[in-house]
Structure 1
C-alpha cells in the first residue's frame, strides 16, 4: 500500500511532473505507419498532455511540431502539405519538418519576420511500422538492437489500441503473470493449429499442450523476478506433471514496455504510452522468427475489435465490454468475448481513471509489480537529481543488446535436473538458429 502522494508521483506525467520528466527522456511511440497512409499524411498527436502535429512531407520526411501555429495559435493539424512543409490555413505561414519557417506570405516584400520564427520541432524515427518521437531535452537515447527493431519489415506487424485509464495500471497488467489463469481463462481448448494471430490460444513450445489448458488447470505459478540491463525478467513456472514444467519468460523493458511470447513463432513488444493522465495507447510490434507475418490477417483480426481512426475498442465501459452471462457460465471466465485485449481493458479501466493504490493489498504474485515500482521511483528520483536512468543509453551499449528472450514452452527435462534458465536459454537459441534473420545475428 502506498500513499496518495506516492501514487501521484508515479502516475502523473504532464509537463513539469517528476514522472513526466522521466518519461520524456525516452523515445515514445506516437503513431503506427498506417496512420499516415492515404492522400493526406497529417495527424494530431497528444502525448503526456502535450499537443503536437505529426506529418510526412512531400519528400517523405517525417516531422513532429507543436500543434499551435506560432503566429496566432491556429491548429496546424488542419494544415496543408505543400511547398516542402506544412502550411497553416489561417495566414499561410509555412513550416518544414525541422520547424523552420519557410514563408510568411502576407508580410511585406523584404520582411525578415520569417527568419526570426521557429516552431518547436522534435526528433522522429520510424521503426518496424511504428513512429517514435522524442520530446525531452538533450540528445535522445539510442535504440537497443532488440528483435522488434532489427527483424526485417516483412517479419513485423504493428498495431495499437486505446485504454481509458492511466498508463501505469495499463502497464502493470503485463507485469502480472498470475492473472492470466483467471482473466484469460477459457473453459474449452480449441484447435491450436487455428491460433495464428491470437494470443494465449496456441500450443506451448516443445509440446502439444494448449496454453489455455496450462492456464486453466495450473493456477498456482511460481514467479521469479531478476534484474537485467534493460529492466526486469520474469520467469513463471507451472509444474504440469511429475516430469514436465511449463516455463514462461516475459520481460519489462524500462520505462514502459514489455516483451512477451505470443506463440512459438512470435513475440510481442508492447509499450503503454500516456495520452494524458487518464488515457493511454498500447503500441505493439509483433515479431516473427519463422516466415513473414501475414499482415493482412493480423490487421483484419484486430479491426474486428478496434475502430478507426482512433483505435478505440468496440467493447468498452459504455456497453459493459460485451459482457454476456451465458458466456461467462460456459465459455470464458469473464464473459467478455475471446479477445484478451478486452479482458485486459476491463481489468485496468475498472480500477478507475487513475488507480487509487492507497486501497490495494499486494500479494506474493505481485513481486514483479513491486520490483518495477521500486525501479520507477528510483529513476524518477535520479532524474530529479540530474543523474542517469535505466536505458538512457548510447549506441555502444545499445548495439550490445539483443532479444530479450521471451519463451513459452514445456521443459520436459525438469525431472532430470535441467533448470528453467538452462531450458529457456536453449529454447531461445534453437528458435534463433531456425530463423533466417535471427540466426544471422547469432553469428555476428
Structure 2
C-alpha cells in the first residue's frame, strides 16, 4: 500500500519537488520538429510547471528561453524572428538562441544596458523528428544509441498527444501487459493486410494470427521482468494451442519512456512528459526496420483523432470519449472506438488528474509497475542525497546501447522464450538495411 506522501513523492514535478529534480536530470521532449515549420517558427512550451519559448532563428539555429522577457515580463512566445534571434514586441529587446541580449533599441543611444542582460537559455537538440530540451543543472546525459535515434530519418516518424493526467499513470499503462486483453479487445478481427500504422491490428510475427485474436482469446499472460542497464524488460507469455506460445517483449527506459512493438516491422519509443502535475504529453517515435515510413499516411491516421495546434484528442472526458453502448456490446470492449489511444486515455484520465494510489489493490500482473516504482523512488532518494541515477550516461557509455529489442510474435516450438525473442530480433535486424549495417550480435540481447 502506498501512502499519500509516497504518491506525492513520485508524481509531483515542480522545480523543488523530488521527482521534478530527478526528471530535470534528463533530456525531455518539448516539441515535434513539425511544430517549428511554417511562417513563424516560435512555440510556447510548458514543461514540469515552467514556461519557456522555443524558436528557430533565421539561420536555422534552435533556442529555448524562459518565456517572460527580462525587461518587464512580456510574453516572448509572441516575439518576432529577426535580427539573428527572438525580439520582444513590447520594447524591441532582442535575444539570440543562447539568451544573449543583442539589442535594447528603445534605450538611449550608447546605452550599455544590453551588455548586462542575459535571458536564461537551455540546451536543445533534434532527434528523429522530436526536439529535446535539458532544463537541469550541469551537463546533460548522452543519448543512447537506441534504434529510434540511429535509424535514418526516412525510417522514423514522430507524433504526440495530450493526456489530461499526471505523467506517472500515463507511463504505467505501458508497464502493464495484461490490460491489452481487455482495454484493447476487439470482438472481430480485421484484415491484417490493412493494419499499416495501427497498433494491435496486424498479425503477430511468425504467423498469420491477428494480434486481436491472441489478446481476446488468451487473456491470462504469464509476466516476468528483468532489470537491465537501461531500465527494465518485460516478457508476457500467452500459451496457445499445439504447444505454441505468444511472446511479447516490451521495455521501460528510465525514467519515463517505454519501447514496445507496433508490428512485425515497426517499434514505438514513447516518452511521457509532464506539462505540470496534472497534464502530460506522450511523444512517440515509430521506427521501421523494413522500408521507409509512409509519414503522410501515419500523420493522416493520427490527425483523425488529434487536433492541432495542441494535439488534443477529439474524444475526451467532455464527450465521454465517444462512448457508445451498442458498440460496447458488439464491437469493442470499451465502446470508445477503434483507436487504442482513446482507450488508454480513458483508463488513465478516469483515475483522476493524479491517481490516488492509496486506494489501489495491485495483483500479480502488476509486478512491472511495482518494480518500476521501486526503481523510481530509489532514484529520487539518490538525487536528494546528491547521488547517481540510472541512464545518466556519457558518450562512451551511450555507444554501448542498442535496441532495445521489442518483439511481438508466436513461438511455434514453445521452447525457451528468451531464445525465441533473441532470434526474432536478430533476424529482423539482419533483414534491415540500416540495422544490419550496425549489427553487433553481442549487443542483440542487451
> TM bucket by the smaller chain?
over 0.9
2:17 paired with 1:20: no
Counterpart in the other structure of 2:428: 431
Deviation string for 1:247-292 (max 9, x for gaps)? 0000000000000000000000000000000000000000000000
Counterpart in the other structure of 2:399: 399
- Per the normalisation by structure 1, the TM-score is 0.99
| Counterpart-to-counterpart distance in 2, 1:320 and 1:251 | 31
Deviation string for 1:9-60 (max 9, x for gaps)? 0000011100000000000000001111100000000000000000000000
Counterpart in the other structure of 1:118: 118
| Counterpart-to-counterpart distance in 1, 2:249 and 2:416 | 13
Counterpart in the other structure of 2:278: 278
2:105 paired with 1:108: no
What's the RMSD between the two structures over aligned residues? 0.7
Counterpart in the other structure of 1:349: 349
Give SS of 2:159's match: strand
Counterpart in the other structure of 1:334: 334
Task: Provide structure 2 residue ranges, at least 5 long, that are not aligned to the other structure.
Answer: 442-446
Counterpart in the other structure of 1:290: 290
| Counterpart-to-counterpart distance in 2, 1:264 and 1:249 | 12
Structure 1 residue 242: Cα displacement: 3.2
| Counterpart-to-counterpart distance in 2, 1:376 and 1:392 | 14
Give SS of 1:131's match: strand
- Per the normalisation by structure 2, the TM-score is 0.98
Counterpart in the other structure of 1:309: 309
Aligned length: 441
| Counterpart-to-counterpart distance in 2, 1:101 and 1:72 | 14
Tell me: CA distance 1:2–1:443, structure 2 relative to 1, closer, same or farther (3 Å).
Answer: closer
2:155 paired with 1:155: yes
Q: Report runs of 4+ in structure 1 exceeding 6 Å deviation.
A: none
2:127 paired with 1:127: yes
Selected match of 1:421 from 418, 426, 444: 418
Structure 1 residue 443: Cα displacement: 5.2
| Counterpart-to-counterpart distance in 2, 1:82 and 1:312 | 31
| Counterpart-to-counterpart distance in 2, 1:425 and 1:89 | 57
| Counterpart-to-counterpart distance in 2, 1:107 and 1:163 | 44
2:61 paired with 1:64: no
| Counterpart-to-counterpart distance in 2, 1:328 and 1:15 | 43
Deviation string for 1:192-224 (max 9, x for gaps)? 000000000000000011000000000000000
Give SS of 1:183's match: coil
Counterpart in the other structure of 2:438: 441
Residues 15-414 of structure 1 aligned to structure 2 (within 5 Å)? 15-414=15-414
Deviation string for 1:105-129 (max 9, x for gaps)? 1112221111110000000000100
| Counterpart-to-counterpart distance in 2, 1:421 and 1:119 | 52
Deviation string for 1:65-116 (max 9, x for gaps)? 0000000000000000000000000000000000000000111222111111
Is 347-356 or 104-113 further displaced after alignment?
Answer: 104-113
Give SS of 2:122's match: coil
| Counterpart-to-counterpart distance in 2, 1:393 and 1:442 | 21
Task: Provide structure 1 residue ranges, at least 5 long, that are not aligned to the other structure.
Answer: none
| Counterpart-to-counterpart distance in 1, 2:243 and 2:206 | 14
| Counterpart-to-counterpart distance in 2, 1:386 and 1:108 | 47
Give SS of 2:438's match: helix
Give SS of 1:141's match: coil
